[in-house]
Copies of this chain bind each other. A is one copy, B any other.
């Protein structure tokens, strides 16, 4: 494809996306297709090349009907993952440049823009100064948790040379995201090494007394506490762990404190919401997903650590073919040593597009709008005789259940999802089936919130 063909077809593709975004609110949110339907309609690989029209036609005929529409205004499932249009263009520029930023030398701008934006966000989000110079973009919060754990293991002993010794122990709550248990498994610790500490039944936040008791018992039994993960905004109910109290415990046991704020993290841009982040100034690492509430197309997790040298030392391996003068000068950062893969996309460009287009004011307005919508819905649920909140509203997340019990609640959710008019997912809180209503899609307006509420009540 020559640049001139790209110009012509590229305009078509841009128009296709614009059309898609204009009509997405009229599509069923959750794809209604059966397993195998998409695949049965896909063509064999062609021997000879073809133009782009066939692909665009198959997109309309097969891919779009087989897609669950994450950019739909009535997407309330999981956490919405915004791919705002400025971020789409920033990502396009990155792909168009086609640079690969594994080393500073392989694309200085990719590294320096990333350092710059992550440092600027330390200020904008009120994060501690100790995170300056310690910021990096990870693909997802799962990978962020994994590299935090690896750095913690490295700090704790002879891990790099001789591996884990079978005593290292990781502390999470029963509500911590499953990526932490997965990280422990990947790191060779096994399920036995993960302590899922109980939570307060009302707040769903980690019970610090229970943590202390577990630690005492583990230490007496010769285990080595390595890391605690505290969550600000759990996936299930948006619960907030008592980070400050957990930091005290970490200090006592010389443990790494990782704070997972994958969903709620961007709220730190709003000064009035900073109290949710109390204690983060004592964290060893912190993660917030720009690809959820911060309008940046997946994938882009913001990760900071107060100990970048430890992280780099944990992960670096320098074969001859990667040696270069800039690295040896010590004057540059090579981000390959901050992550699992070697190669890396120029992801900072899509973040920059978002930060410039909306401005900090615009981003704060976006966050506040969803919280306002959630407050409005909260009032309606509280006033309803059949439905109630299972846990207190957390920012823009509501968790609700029907008074008639689990079956009724589940039936209402299934009916709404099957209608295609909204998409909701569930959780279980203290043994009770509950519907999560996660507000946060960019296109969501008051009328979409009203519609999903009415649909639930009718169902």
Contact = CB atoms under 8 A, between A and B. Distances in A.
Interface string A12-41: 011111111110000000110101111100
A417 to B, nearest CB: 10
A62 B62 CA distance: 42
Contacts of A90: 55
Contacts of A10: 11, 14, 17-18, 85, 88-89, 92
Where chain A touches its partner, the secondary structure class is helix
B7 A38 contact: no
A274 interface: no
Contacts of A165: 166
14 contacts: A6-B89, A7-B18, A13-B96, A17-B97, A46-B355, A49-B357, A59-B93, A139-B139, A139-B341, A143-B341, A186-B186, A187-B187, A187-B188, A291-B343
B361 A299 contact: no
B96 A83 contact: yes
Contact of A13 (B33, B66, B92, B179): B92
A67 B107 contact: yes
A43 B150 CA distance: 34
A3 B31 contact: no
A276 interface: no
This protein's copies in its complex: 2
Contacts of A324: 425
Contacts of A415: none
A359 B46 contact: yes
Given A109-B63, A161-B190, A21 B35 contact: no
| The 3 residue pairs across chains A and B that have the minimum distance between CB atoms | A188-B188, A163-B190, A83-B98
Nearest to A92: B92
